[in-house]
Structure 1
């Protein structure tokens, strides 16, 4: 069973509603692609089939957030856990269109802890193993045509009210990439929601096995 841990913006929040709108908008371009809720995948292949094990994972998430909160209060600083630096069109199904996140040290730390404690595929010591992102489209269309790429760029810009500047691509798994050229990019911090999701089988059959608001 492929079980993942997601970090989602709070349901009903501005971030949740705008990102959901963008996901739906891009899905209409590719009717065979699935709909899904906005999230960052924190960990995969979790070893938590039974309820007690799932509760343990969620308890660890709460403890991690409480620790982060104490440090943020101490430092008088509250940068968003999730903010975006770029948008990409990729060559892989689950990363067809993504918003790529700035590497927040607290989010990176949570991912490393959860993977090491509860996953059967540990992260390496290098932060290169975790690239936080919010997927906007799952699709096996490849390559993406220039016409569709331009439409995707425009829809992302219009929905998020940002400018995207095309940059050179140096990654073999990426077809196109744009830097976000805006100071007021949508983001979210705490509160948020951790969800344990059974990602086995068709995407429309994925099931939330447990969640906790933080």
Structure 2
């Protein structure tokens, strides 16, 4: 993961506090897990060797958002980040996640930042990188999650978001690394647009050693 670009809800906002509450709630179930800030990872493995590189990345983020700001403020346009389902997965950094709704502007932002700043080699012809934006609620190496804990996770998400979770039973709708997936019973007001905060984060070593190299509010 190394250098990553995060998009976070504005600190102190309703969305920030609600997601933070969910993360803390998951941590109480798995005391060995590590706390972290609510965020969507936009891009990883970025070329970033000094402060100038950090500033270039953040400046590009601001420019990209400014170019679509009018559309983002349109009441008929989905927020950059909104959710329609949640999952328990096998991956450490995605143990419990909220899945983002497809959003062309968020996908476009990921494409721009990856093409401009990714340190990864280009994909071969025919290969396609899949960007599945999400907000993680738990980092944990517990696999699989027991049914008792699955029920507690389900209940806590339902209570916090004030909605029902409907289990996806068709295995064809699950990815290979999903243990459980739920769809929301109704539209959730949880999600954010602008204002928000972009952060360039050095994700090396244990999570508690991760370092924010720079940030910009938009």
Fold match by TM threshold 0.5 = yes
Change (3 A) 1:72 1:160: closer
Alpha-carbon contact 1:87-1:97 (below 8 Å) kept: yes
Change (3 A) 1:10 1:121: same
Q: Secondary structure at the residue paired with 2:10?
A: coil
- Deviates further, 124-133 or 198-207: 124-133
Partner of 1:153: 154
1:123 Cα deviation (Å)? Answer: 7.7
TM-score, length of structure 2 as denominator length: 0.92
Partner of 1:107: 106
1:128 Cα deviation (Å)? Answer: 5.8
Alpha-carbon contact 1:108-1:127 (below 8 Å) kept: no
Change (3 A) 1:183 1:135: same
Alpha-carbon contact 2:2-2:44 (below 8 Å) kept: yes
Alpha-carbon contact 1:115-1:123 (below 8 Å) kept: no
| Equivalences for residues 3-22 of structure 1 within 5 A | 3-22=3-22
TM-score, length of structure 1 as denominator length: 0.94
Partner of 1:27: 27
Q: Give the paired residue count.
A: 213
Distance 2:106 2:181 in 1: 23
1:182 Cα deviation (Å)? Answer: 1.7
| Equivalences for residues 126-165 of structure 1 within 5 A | 129-165=130-166
Partner of 2:45: 45
CA-atom RMSD, angstroms?
1.9
Deviations 1:130-151 (A, max 9, x none): 0000000000001110000000
1:78 Cα deviation (Å)? Answer: 3.4
Unpaired runs of 5+ in structure 1? none
Unpaired runs of 5+ in structure 2? none
Partner of 1:196: 200
Alpha-carbon contact 1:162-1:185 (below 8 Å) kept: no
Deviations 1:30-71 (A, max 9, x none): 111100010000000111120001100000000000011134
- Deviates further, 40-49 or 167-176: 167-176
1:160 Cα deviation (Å)? Answer: 1.2
